[in-house]
Amino acid sequence: MKSTELRKKDIAGLQTEIKELQRAHFGLRMQKATQQITNTATLPAARRAIARAKTILVEKQRAESSAT
């Protein structure tokens, strides 16, 4: 998911997106452990997607706390 799409979501939506990305990353790790994964480039991409979502979440939380 692109950062522009993530920025459109609210805080609750970002938290659910992070949970989904973490579940997907866990599944990829298990596929790697059992040698079932075909495209190993998806692992770093999943990690980057999680980091991107977490970064945007923190930005939104800080903006919300400074506004109040």
Sign for the CA dihedral angle at 43, 19, 56, 2 comes to: positive
- Which residue segments constitute the domains of the chain, with CATH numbers given? 3-67 (1.10.287)
In this structure, the number of other CB atoms found within 10 A of the CB of residue 40 comes to: 10
CA dist 18 and 6 (Å) reads 10
User: What was the pLDDT predicted at 67?
Assistant: 79
pTM of this prediction?
0.90
Helices 42-67 and 11-33, packing angle to 10 deg: 160
List of the chain residues with pLDDT < 50: none
